[in-house]
Structure 1
């Protein structure tokens, strides 16, 4: 397999311009513009001085040295050689086709045809997943004997950073993260041993990551026999590590942790494991900070609590209250009372989680309905498709109402951003802004022009971007894109500060990684940078830039904001955890 953009064996070239940096010889661009002319021109026009903070952050991310965890890779190889179908690895065999029925009954034959169609779809998906795993393993085997390697990074048009190598990188699936580790190791120390135990608990499903930090340490200490068994006999033993939500990452931690605990001096054991600190529904955290929203801030852990607040459970509880109230009503006057009675026993955090997560991306009623419909269908607890559809319609309406109540400030800011975008796009202009780190952003949503070329053999269709903007897309995409540009800025600010403090740093949007012994320092830095970011008048600056760029247009007033004290974030243990 020819994979041109492999990880680098030497540190990437420092970024100094739009196409100057990254790989030594392969074409490298600081931004992925996908042919959006106005966006690439805006970045090229920006001075090197303006883009220096972005360049410095990308250089920091690119200079993190990685290596292959050979023990985890050998377990992946053994499972894959044995046919896959374990620990999120796809089955290497196709699903067999159902036998054709020996009957002329059209209803039976129609049912058989649908089954055949379903099997074909499943086999196509399996083939795609196998190709993906083969690519990842090919890169892992090619790099496994190297002392270390590097991932040059660039950004998407919103300012979020990504490794330029597409297959085996730390943004990837559990397999990728399980076989990658920091090339430089550091002694655990007392705090590192504790954070490694917390990290193991975080990798488990079933609400373990919603316990207090002490509760997570206790969970790990209660499973020491399982951890030793997983490290010593990953496939021959009890296979406890397979119960984790991220099994291969869990296995890597089991191996490192068992070595430390069995040692006479656990604090001196060298660890290469990247320990994650993840934001708590990060998009809503950014909205709560923008709106200085006390209620929203408490729901997403911007303020201290004895244990982490779970926004999904909070919304589920609110949805349940509304449905219980509706279930008491007379169905003759309120037809949804019947659906409320059916759904009362179905409401939990899993039912609403995807809708809450995508609310910051402007999820519509139809999107919410389809998400909830899928969850209800998976459970099979409600009758046929028409009943599920009706129940999903009602549940989506109630969930969006509960979200609007709990995150009123987020809704008002989202609406304000959308209105501003609509006013600009109505003038046939794309929405433009500059991130807090100085990166110019131009939304690339233009109508596509098609040009047909007839030949003697075929008709070719050429597509190109026109000068006409897509008004609706400009409006709906602006709120999530703006928030992404802010979370990208927060990650970059944290990365640079960590490098200056001597920490190894890797980041995946709202998940920040460092050595176990340095997690306390990382936590302190990322909170300080979040407060620093939001102490600047972000919305005021945005409105001013719109008014300067479009002096003839009239924009709505900024939404009202609350009195949440940003500095509370500095004392919140579960803001990132």
Structure 2
């Protein structure tokens, strides 16, 4: 008798779906081969198959749990490796910037000697290359002189504790940076320059000494050789330090070597060393105009820097104060705004979250000096911060840590638009014009009034050009930082306080508290879905950025304004430079462009609420007459408080 099988469903066990699938496949296979015949329904005998006992529900749950934990552990391990890699990059950026610049100048010098040709270098690098070797030789001579003296100067021990080539690089870059950020006539006070250069040298000496003692200076691997005659305890300590550095345990290393740290120099030593280095720079740095002179005339070579005196006329006082200043030759500034990106920029944004604040000088960058408050050399303010109880400042530490842990990134689409405008000469969207204002020519007359008018117009044009030059340098610095960071997944800004308690990023150029250009180029690295109400608030934000009176309308009025300009918004996002350029009519054009791009993505999506937005909202509200608010609070004046929105009125 041929076997018969029922066509009914199997009773499901813990793996009923899988068993049923296998059973149906077997039946269909036997039907195809002709092995099965079906009996009448009343004679069908049902067969029930249960899953094996080892495929029970707890077993599968534990299996899935272990697989999930394994996947989570692997993802965490990937993140840890990524963090360690970024941390190593950050430490190298803080400790090896000057060394890389020294190697670059050495390689250029070797190339010039081998090929006997001057390479085609940017303006600022040509200047530095011409000054580097004479200044290095002068510093090396000063070091030898101080070593041979019986009665040494106060800075003798410090100038001899650092390589001359690195010291020359620091002096040149620091002096140029100070002159760029100086007054309209591109001069800087001697005391300010001396202290800044002295502080930079002290900072690098600390890093240099730390890395030398741990055998990590300019090496990828730790050298295992110990110094002769070192004791057993010192050898154990050295091995411990090397192990901690290899694992990037910077805080533990600082605890171990705290007894070996260099004592702070003080402002007096910093100023004395800085003054001597500035003096050597003035003696060795020269500039020469382009070759347009006759062959018979001697070459016009003049000092690049000079020491001058300025007068300060204080209003209401008859006493005139004088101070020394360092002024640079106009040839130094010529072309500097186009090549400023080749200068070393300290305190760039960090690739990993900054150190948590634990004290006045404990937090922020790993190696670069970081202070809780910007005292600008005020000893009283520094002492006040140091003496403040840690418990009292705990909330301040937490607030700065929160700001420092915010991850940012570069908005590449906005940056590409900015780069195109800047390459085309600027003067669009609030960018400064890259061309100078023409200097008026002397009139062909001897009229005193006309000559006087011409002199005033020349003075005005030169002043405008100086301001344009300063703005071009500032823009170039911002863009150079953006170019360096545009390919990074994210970066962080360590923050500290000013004397009023306001928090600012320690990096001075490309920050979210700066101009419209910076705010448009920066965005949050970690985005969030717009959500149900996000699209509405994005439109309101765009109307606020457009301004021109639109920001004064009600919310419904601002929404209606955006709805009426949807075509302009889409055109601005898709074709910002060759379209109708509606975004350029906004008061904050680059922030408006970033908002147009984000809103365009949402409007084109089938699910606008799920679009990820990285757009930061910069709250533009401020206090009403802050000074009067303080007076109203001090005087308990309810009428005045209501007038300045201190209380509801």
Instruction: Give the TM-score normalised by structure 1.
Output: 0.51
Deviation of 1:267 after TM superposition, in Å, equals 0.5
Root-mean-square deviation over aligned CA pairs: 1.9
Query: Which residue does 2:483 correspond to in 1?
Result: 141
Deviation per residue, 1:290-349 (Å, 9 max, x gap)? 7776655665566xxxxxxxxxxxxxxxxxxxxxxxxxxxxxxxxxxxxxxxxxxxxxxx
1:98–1:116 CA contact under 8 A, matched in 2: yes
SS in 2 for 1:203: helix
Cα distance in 2 between the residues matched to 1:281 and 1:105: 54
> What's the counterpart of residue 267 of structure 1?
609
CA–CA distance in structure 2, aligned partners of residues 16 and 66 of structure 1: 24
Aligned to 1:252: 594
- Larger relative contact order (Cα-Cα within 8 Å, sequence gap ≥ 6): 1
2:571 to 194, 204, 229: 229
Within-5 A mapping of 1:143-542:
143-284=485-626, 287=630
Following TM superposition, by how much is the alpha carbon of 1:209 offset from its aligned partner in structure 2, in angstroms? Answer: 1.3
Mapped partners of 2:452, 2:548: distance in 1: 40
Map of 1:132 onto structure 2? 474
Q: Does 2:447 match 1:102?
A: no
Q: Distance in 1 between matches of 2:593 and 2:481?
A: 20
Tell me: CA distance 1:290–1:183, structure 2 relative to 1, closer, same or farther (3 Å): farther
Q: 1:299 to 1:203 in 2, by over 3 A?
A: farther
Q: Is the 8 A contact 1:188 1:270 kept in 2?
A: yes
Distance 1:46 1:280, change over 3 A: closer
Aligned in 2, Cα 1:71/1:293: closer, same or farther, shift over 3 Å? farther
How much does 1:223 deviate? 1.0
Q: Report the equivalent of 1:555.
A: none
Note the alpha carbon deviations across 1:113-162, whole angstroms, 9 max, x for none.
11111110011111000000010000000000000000000001111100
Gaps of 5+ in 2: 1-342
Q: Which of the pair is proportionally richer in strand?
A: 1
Whole-angstrom CA distance in 2 between matches of 1:217 and 1:160:
34
Deviations 1:176-206 (A, max 9, x none): 0000000000000122111111111111232
CA distance in 1, matches of 2:456, 2:519: 38
Q: Are 1:53 and 2:395 matched, yes or no?
A: yes
* Residue pairs, 1:54-73, within 5 angstroms: 54-73=396-415
For residue 249 of structure 2, what is the aligned residue in structure 1? none
Instruction: Give CA-to-partner distance per residue, 1:58-89, whole Å, 9 cap, x none.
Output: 00011100000000000000000000000110
**Helix, strand or coil: the match of 1:278?**
coil
Q: Which residue of 2 aligns with 1:120?
A: 462
Offset at residue 279 of structure 1 (A): 2.2
DSSP 3-state at the match of 1:99: coil
Q: TM-score, normalised by structure 2?
A: 0.45
How has the CA–CA distance of structure 1 residues 300 and 179 changed in structure 2, closer, same or farther, with 3 Å as cutoff?
Answer: farther
The answer as to whether partners of 1:31 and 1:154 remain within 8 angstroms in 2 is yes
SS in 1 for 2:408: strand
**Distance across 2 between alignment mates of 1:254 and 1:141:** 23
Q: Distance in 2 between matches of 1:293 and 1:234?
A: 52
Contact 2:409 2:525 in 1 (8 A): yes
Tell me by how many angstroms 1:286 deviates: 5.0
After TM superposition, the structure 1 = structure 2 runs for residues 27-46 of structure 1, keeping only pairs within 5 Å, are 27-46=369-388
Distance 1:58 1:94, change over 3 A: same
Q: What SS class does the counterpart of residue 440 from structure 2 fall into? A: coil
Do the aligned partners of 2:629 and 2:644 also contact (CA within 8 Å) in 1? no
Residues in 1 aligned to 2:348 and 2:365: alpha-carbon distance in whole angstroms: 10
Deviation at 1:99, TM superposition (A): 2.1
Deviations 1:413-443 (A, max 9, x none): xxxxxxxxxxxxxxxxxxxxxxxxxxxxxxx
Confirm whether residue 14 of structure 1 aligns to residue 356 of structure 2.
yes
Would you say the 8 A contact 1:65–1:150 is kept in 2?
yes
Cα distance, 1:277 vs. partner?
2.6
Verify: 1:2 aligned to 2:365, yes or no: no
Q: How much has 1:214 moved relative to structure 2?
A: 2.0
- Give the C-alpha shift of residue 100 in structure 1: 1.4
Matches of 1:278 and 1:128 in 2, distance apart?
27
Aligned residue for 1:162, secondary structure, equals strand
Separation in structure 1 between the aligned mates of residue 535 and residue 447 of structure 2, nearest angstrom: 66
Specify whether residues 290 and 201 from structure 1 end up closer, same or farther in structure 2 by C-alpha distance, changes over 3 A only. Answer: farther
Q: Which runs of 5+ in 1 are unaligned?
A: 303-563, 569-577
d(CA) in 2 for partners of 1:243, 1:184: 30
CA distance in 2, matches of 1:273, 1:54: 27
Mark the structure with the bigger radius of gyration.
Answer: 2
Judge conservation of contact 1:66–1:182 (CA < 8 Å) in 2.
yes
The answer to whether the 8 A contact 1:260-1:266 is kept is yes
Matches of 1:260 and 1:298, distance apart in 2: 42
Alignment length, in residue pairs? 305
